[in-house]
Every structure is written in C-alpha cells, then in structure tokens.
Amino acid sequence: MIPVEFVSVILPCLNEEDAVAATVADAQRGLAAAGVRGEILVADNGSTDRSVERAIAAGAVVVTASRRGYGAAIQAGLDAAQGDVIVVADADQTYDLECLSDLIAPIRSGTDLVIGARTRGTISPGAMPTLHRYVGTPVLTRLLSGLIGTPLADSQSGFRAFRREAVAGLALRAKGMEYASEMVLRAGRAGLAVTEVPVNYRVRVGESKLSPFGDGWRHLRLLLLLSPHVSLVLPGVVAMCLGVVLCAVSLIAPTGLALGSVRWLPVFLGPMLVILGSQAVLLGALAAHRSPLTPAAIRRRLRGLGQPNAMNRLLGAFAAVALLGLAIDAVLLGFWLAGETGPSLLGVAGLAQALVVVGGCGIATLFAVDYARDVLDW
C-alpha cells in the first residue's frame, strides 16, 4: 500500500456562484470520509459573478488562473497545490465529491491516474447532452484507447485523481478542455498505470461552458497532432499504395476502365495520391521519430532516421527519384519529337511527373526540416 499523506482537491471555476459553495462542502465531507488531510483549491478562471467570495466563504482557497481555459485553470491549481495526490472535479455539482475516496483507493494500490467513468455509473436524465453522450465521448474514448493500448470507458470525465509526481513529469501543455485528453494520452504513452472507477453524473447547476463542436475538434486535433504515426504515416501509406495501383491501371489499360457508359482513366488521380502519400509519410516519419510520445515499436522502425548519415542518404534517394522522373520525361520527349503520341503514353507521363514532384518535394522538406532543427539548436 502506498501512503496518501495529503490530498489537494482542485475545482476549475468560471461563473459557478450557484454551485461552488455546495461543491466545496461536498469535497470537505469527501476528504473527511476518506480519512485524509487535504485542501480545496478553487481555480478561478475569470469569474464575473460571486463565485470567488462564495468559494472563500465555504472554506476553499481561491487561486487565480491568469490564462483562460479549463487546462490553464487546472495547471494554476497544480502550481499552488501542496498535496501528493490531486483530485480534479468540476465546480458545478455534477460529480459527487463525497465519494472521492473511491478514486483515492486505487492510488493507494499503486495506480498513477484514476478516471471516474460516468458511463460505468449512473447518468441522471438530462445530465449529459445526447451528442456528447452518444457521439463525442465514445468517439474520443475509443480513439484514445487505441492510441494508448488501454481499454477505457470514459476518457473525457472531469473527475479524476492522480499522483502529483507522476503527472508533473508529463509536461501537459493544453489550455482548454483538451487538457483531459492530453493527460490520458501522455500518461498512457509514458507507461503510467491508468484505471477507471464508476462514478455517478448529475445534472449541473448553472449554465454549461462546453462547446460541443469547438471543444470536440480541439480534442481531436490534439490527439492527431501528438500521434503523427496515425495522422500522417498511416493514411500516407494507404494513399501511396492506392496511387501506385491506379498508376499501374493507367499503364496496363491506357484507354481507361469501363464504368457503365463512360471510361475512367486514373492518369491524374494515381500520381496525385502517390505525391500526397509520400509527402505525408515523410513528414509523419520525421515527426514520429522526434516525438517522445511515439510508441516504442514505431520508434524502433524509424531508428534509421537517427543515424549520422541518414540525411544524406535520404537526400540521395529523393534526388534519384527526381532524376528517374526526368529521365522518363526525356524519353517521352523523344517519342513526341518522333511523332509518337496517344493514350498509351499518358500513364507513363503521369508517373514521370509524380516521380519528379516526389523527389523535389522530398529534398525541399528535408532541407527545411534540417534548417529548422539547426535554428532551434542555436
């Protein structure tokens, strides 16, 4: 058993005057029921109502978050917290903080991050918007589960507990609601022990600050940004393979494929997919190689990018690709000067242009990345 010396309860708050005092009281009873010493910090995020004075009157310590946003408020609370274990919840009465001992118990058993899963408990009618409950939360949860390799039921819950020391090393940077996703992703990739416990979810008191589409997009954007092997490399490989197949179709069937009453010649789509796919793979591989969040198995596959002569080898490879495309163009020019034209050469011409662009873009990308790295190292 790991001893829990002191618990800091952080409540991000923005205009919660009707609920913050009751939430603070719930947290006080929760600490007493858990038999631990602790403090309650209300991280005010710019409230213009009486939230601050009511929080102070209820016995909480108010911390002012200089930057707006859910994540910024929690970070301000963390900077002021004294506890070795942190509990985070909303200040709107949606979570039953009298049951915070349920989240602290797994910490004593060695878990680093405990998430209160609303979908495994009871959700009061009307407590969670339909779109949020059946689309946003399940989609983001499944995506996060796949990215960290740990099955989760509710990655977006705002009721969670964690060991301060473990999470402090994750270097969380998100300022908005996406902070919740970033914490889970970085914790999972860092090998921290993550678990869930069922919690109940009640109808909030006061007006919701959630923006379903805006916040959902920020969550998704963050997860894709921190996972270039998924957002760039994987779709890039798919696009390249499909492009190669379509280029082959253009070569094998120069008059196109019969699709009902029309004939389709993928002479443009094939090369375009090869170009886009190769660029995505290159950028994604470079980003994944340098990201500490990339899974170990992917990093092993990309370890060649860290070799001393990797840049020169890549430049040589892309130069060879571009020269091959130019050579094919030269041959095609010879055919054209000799008066030989026709659809049989279109597929070859498309492939040649793709090779030139892939090679040229690859060289430009490598120069730009190497230059940016040198600038950052100065």
Sort strands 6-13 and 85-88 into parallel, antiparallel or unpaired: parallel
Which domains are assigned to the chain?
A: 6-225 (3.90.550.10), 228-377 (no CATH)
Helical residues (DSSP H) of the chain, grouped into ranges:
20-34, 51-57, 70-80, 101-108, 130-131, 137-148, 164-168, 179-189, 212-225, 228, 234-252, 269-290, 296-301, 310-337, 346-377
Q: What's the pTM value of the predicted model, to 2 decimals? A: 0.83
Task: Specify the pLDDT at position 142.
Answer: 94
Q: What is the mean pLDDT of residues 351-362?
A: 94
Task: Specify the pLDDT at position 5.
Answer: 86
Burial of 161 per CB tally in 10 Å (0-12, 13-18, 19+) = buried
Sort strands 160-163 and 85-88 into parallel, antiparallel or unpaired: antiparallel
As a whole number of angstroms, the distance between CA 150 and CA 128 comes to: 24
128: Cα separation from own chain's centroid: 23
Task: Specify the pLDDT at position 299.
Answer: 86
Contact criterion met (CB below 8 Å) for 107 and 158:
no
Q: Token digits for 118?
A: 């609303």
Q: What is the mean pLDDT of residues 214-223?
A: 88
Answer with the residue of higher pLDDT: 345 or 61. Answer: 61
DSSP 230-265: IIIIHHHHHHHHHHHHHHHHHHH-TT-EEETTEEE-
Q: What is the mean pLDDT of residues 359-368?
A: 92
Q: Token digits for 257?
A: 């494929």
Task: Specify the pLDDT at position 282.
Answer: 94
Non-local CB neighbours of 21 within 8 Å, separated by 6+ positions: 54, 55, 57, 58
As a whole number of angstroms, the distance between CA 298 and CA 335 comes to: 45
pLDDT at 377 over 70: no
Burial of 328 per CB tally in 10 Å (0-12, 13-18, 19+) = middle
Task: Specify the pLDDT at position 59.
Answer: 96
As a whole number of angstroms, the distance between CA 277 and CA 358 comes to: 9
Q: What is the mean pLDDT of residues 228-250?
A: 93
Non-local CB neighbours of 340 within 8 Å, separated by 6+ positions: none
Q: 155: closest CA among 176, 189, 185?
A: 185
Task: Specify the pLDDT at position 249.
Answer: 87
Share of the chain above pLDDT 70, in %: 97
Reported as a single tens digit per residue, the pLDDT across 286-339 is 999 988 888 888 888 888 888 888 889 999 999 999 999 999 999 988 888 887
Q: 162: closest CA among 219, 82, 80, 106?
A: 106
pLDDT at 200 over 80: yes
Contact criterion met (CB below 8 Å) for 24 and 11:
yes
Query: Which of 170-184, 294-308, 351-365 shows the lowest mean pLDDT across its residues?
Result: 294-308
As a whole number of angstroms, the distance between CA 251 and CA 256 comes to: 9
Reported as a single tens digit per residue, the pLDDT across 95-139 is 999 999 999 999 999 999 999 999 999 999 999 988 888 999 999
As a whole number of angstroms, the distance between CA 185 and CA 113 comes to: 11
Reported as a single tens digit per residue, the pLDDT across 31-53 is 999 999 999 999 999 999 999 99
Indicate the Cα dihedral angle 194, 195, 199, 203, nearest 10°: 30
Task: Specify the pLDDT at position 108.
Answer: 94
Q: How many CA atoms lie within 13 Å of 159's alpha carbon, on the beta-carbon side? A: 29
Reported as a single tens digit per residue, the pLDDT across 77-86 is 999 999 999 9
